[in-house]
Amino acid sequence: MKPRPNSSTSSRITGTLMVVALLALAAATAWRLLRIEPENPRPATVSANAMRHAEPIVGAHYFGRQWPKNFIAGFRREHVADDFARLRADGFNTVVLVLAWGDFQPLFEPCCSDDERAWQRLGFLLDQAQRAGLGVVLRVGYGWSFHPDAGAMAERIHRLLNERDVRAAFFAFLDRVNTVVQERSVVRLSLLSWEDLWLHVIDPLARPDFERYLRTLPSDDAHRVRFEHGGALPSAASPDAALFNAYWDWLLMNELFRPAAQRLQPLGFEARIDRDPLPVIEPDGSTRTHWIGHESTYAAPGATLSTLYWAPFWGARNEGETLDAAQALHLFDVLLAQVRDGNGQLPLFIDQFNVIDNTLGFERNARLRADALDPFMAGAYCVMRAHAVLGYAWWTSINYAESPIYNPAFGYGLDGWSLRTHDGAPVEGRLHPTPTGDFDLRLEAGDELRQQIPARRGRLPQADDGLADRVCIDTRSDSPGKLHVAAGGEATVLAFDGRGEQRLCAPIAARPDNDTLTLALRAVDSTVTLRNVMLFDHVQDGGLYQFDGSDGPLLPALRALNRRYTEDPGERCAAPAR
């Protein structure tokens, strides 16, 4: 399933809470309303009626055989045409690309510093999609980036949600996305997602925004009366959590989505369809749970559709149970009906359709039984048609390793890596350009390659945590030799036989030192060419194609659903029973 943003706050966020009074005073005196206009002409809008009658979106996310978090620097151009052709053959008509703000605009103050390599690679993907006959959906502002200059993403998102000057930089990023989109006719839809814009703390710098929100409430509203004259700000874990979440929703719609929609059309918003629990103490001392929803984001201002995600956990008990097809189809139907009831009957787009989901940390979530997969896929067609679902996109089309390596396939040369050559020769001489515009790295015997992997990239592989650490390296060699690979612990030996291209995989003991994991590779006995490096302890499963590229259990059923969704308008479906 989708990687969820790290819910822990950065040291800067924590430090913010320690200087509340000083920053609040600064905010009250220094804040000014910024009118942020698009740099380029506003794109033409698309009506909801036109969207209802548009060609269905039958999509698959594309991560270039990498993790979503490192894909823009990690995909190899030589693979893209074949990968897109396979998606087309499987019945997909659209590819979904995640665009991390930090990958494209790593430095946002002073505004702004772009990484032109990322923009060039995006252009390449869009051109390849057009050649393959695929439309494109762009998820802009994806909440993860391994770019060395991008900083901690938790801090970046915190500042985006709390500082208007930082939002101006984000909108400059969207302006350039719009320029790229307008140069081509292949992009069908752009998206913002709540997952990439998760508010954890209301910074005192954001008090003017918060007070603007309070003024939208009735003058006698208890929250407005209590908070509009200063004092502490609500938090997500306080009795005022409902107010905190309502402000978050208002902020997303008014301070982010509205300006973004001036730059990108059509623009959708992936709404948070989960509800957050708020314990309430009753007068008799008992506790009941109030569930906080986000219905105000179901119909974003001016949007022509609503975007949501789905996996079998929605509406289930999530106590480790398995569901049969009828149970899952009922919950699916209830969800789609609820969203359409709350969005004014706009059409829907399911941007993450996760029939199989093995996301770490969510092992108790309900899952479909193995014998329920095919009947669920067959029944999902009519459920979606009954609720005006314009289309869907599969998250994990090829099972991927969660490898926290930046620039794993050397598309950016040696950026993020350090190389010590055995003979002291310039390291650039070990890089060999490929005909498609990427690089291979040729290690001679005795050369040593390293990367420092910081904890801010997310959960690091670690020995003795119950997960099996592995290393996989794509190599090419003309003679037998060995690679010694270590990840802070004892080295693992990978032997290559000198017969061309190989993927070598082996167990490894990953042992981070404090907040950093050091990956080291040393060539022994012979020269070897490196094409991709992965270090991981989990493979995300989507059911279509296995990590080794072989067919997964859901592939035939998904091909049938894709074909039916693009060819059959749904007249043969009876209304689903609820």
Instruction: Spell out the residues 6+ positions from residue 225 whose beta carbon is closer than 8 angstroms to its own.
Output: none
So what's the pLDDT on residue 575? 53
- Check whether 64 has a pLDDT greater than 50: yes
Task: Give the Cα separation of 161 and 203 in Å (integer).
Answer: 9
Q: What is the CATH number of domain 418-537?
A: 2.60.120.260
DSSP assignment, residue 460? P
98 Rama class: left (phi>0) / alpha (psi -120 to 50) / beta = beta
So what's the pLDDT on residue 262? 97
Band (13; pLDDT cuts 50, 70, 90): very low
| pLDDT tens-digit readout, 158-208 | 999 999 999 999 999 999 999 999 999 999 999 999 999 999 999 999 999
| pLDDT tens-digit readout, 115-153 | 999 999 999 999 999 999 999 999 999 999 999 999 999
| pLDDT tens-digit readout, 346-377 | 999 999 999 999 999 999 999 999 999 999 99
Task: Report in angstroms the alpha-carbon separations of 487 from 460, 502, 508.
Answer: 11, 21, 7
Q: Which amino acid is located at 496 in the chain?
A: F
DSSP state letters, 207-243: HHHHHHHHTTS-TT-HHHHHHTT-SPPP-TTSTTHHH
Task: Give the Cα separation of 300 and 348 in Å (integer).
Answer: 12
Judge contact between 55 and 100, C-beta under 8 A: no
Which residues of 48-142 form beta strands (DSSP E)? 57-61, 94-100, 135-142
What residues does 450 pair with on adjacent strands?
Answer: 418, 520
Task: Give the Cα separation of 290 and 280 in Å (integer).
Answer: 7
| pLDDT tens-digit readout, 222-277 | 999 999 888 889 999 888 999 999 999 999 999 999 999 999 999 999 999 999 88
| pLDDT tens-digit readout, 88-104 | 999 999 999 999 999 99
Residues in the chain: 578
142, 147, 151, 153: CA torsion to nearest 10: 20
Band (42; pLDDT cuts 50, 70, 90): low
Task: Give the Cα separation of 407 and 410 in Å (integer).
Answer: 5
Task: Give the Cα separation of 487 and 522 in Å (integer).
Answer: 12
pTM given for the model? 0.90
- Pick from 61-75, 226-240, 395-409, 513-527: least confident: 226-240
So what's the pLDDT on residue 39? 61
- Check whether 34 has a pLDDT greater than 60: no
Where helices occur in 149-296 by DSSP H, the ranges are: 153-162, 164-182, 207-214, 222-227, 241-251, 258-261
Determine how many CB atoms are found less than 10 A away from the CB of residue 478.
12
Band (52; pLDDT cuts 50, 70, 90): low
pLDDT averaged over every residue in the chain: 91
- Check whether 515 has a pLDDT greater than 90: yes
| pLDDT tens-digit readout, 272-307 | 999 988 888 888 888 888 899 999 999 999 999 999
- Check whether 73 has a pLDDT greater than 90: yes
User: Given CA atoms 179, 183, 189, 195 in this order, what sign does their dihedral have?
Assistant: negative
| Closest residue by Cα to residue 409 from 119, 156, 67, 148 | 67
So what's the pLDDT on residue 16? 37
Q: Which residue's entry shows tokens 């910074």?
A: 203
Residue percentage of the chain with pLDDT more than 90: 83
So what's the pLDDT on residue 343? 96
- Residue 277, helix vs strand vs coil: strand
Task: Give the Cα separation of 297 and 259 in Å (integer).
Answer: 15
So what's the pLDDT on residue 538? 97
CB-based burial label for 16 (10 Å; 0-12, 13-18, 19+)? buried
Task: Give the Cα separation of 92 and 94 in Å (integer).
Answer: 6
DSSP assignment, residue 173? H
- Pick from 12-16, 356-360, 501-505, 515-519: least confident: 12-16
Residue percentage of the chain with pLDDT more than 70: 90
> Residues 132-164, buried b or exposed e (16+ Cβ, 10 A)?
bebbbbbbbbbbbbbbeebbbbbbbbbbbbbbb
DSSP assignment, residue 406? S
Determine how many CB atoms are found less than 10 A away from the CB of residue 203.
24
User: Given CA atoms 570, 572, 573, 575 in this order, what sign does their dihedral have?
Assistant: positive
- Check whether 38 has a pLDDT greater than 80: no
Of residues 47 and 471, more confidence is placed in 471
Task: Give the Cα separation of 576 and 578 in Å (integer).
Answer: 6
| Closest residue by Cα to residue 430 from 528, 336, 350, 573 | 528
So what's the pLDDT on residue 566? 93
Judge contact between 171 and 38, C-beta under 8 A: yes
- Check whether 20 has a pLDDT greater than 80: no
Task: Give the Cα separation of 162 and 234 in Å (integer).
Answer: 14
Q: What is the CATH number of domain 11-304?
A: 3.20.20
Task: Give the Cα separation of 84 and 553 in Å (integer).
Answer: 21
Over residues 314-341, mean pLDDT: 97
So what's the pLDDT on residue 10? 39
What distance lies between CA 221 and its chain's CA centroid? Answer: 37
| Closest residue by Cα to residue 74 from 114, 113, 125 | 125
| Residue ranges of the chain that CATH labels 3.20.20 | 11-304
Task: Give the Cα separation of 365 and 320 in Å (integer).
Answer: 6
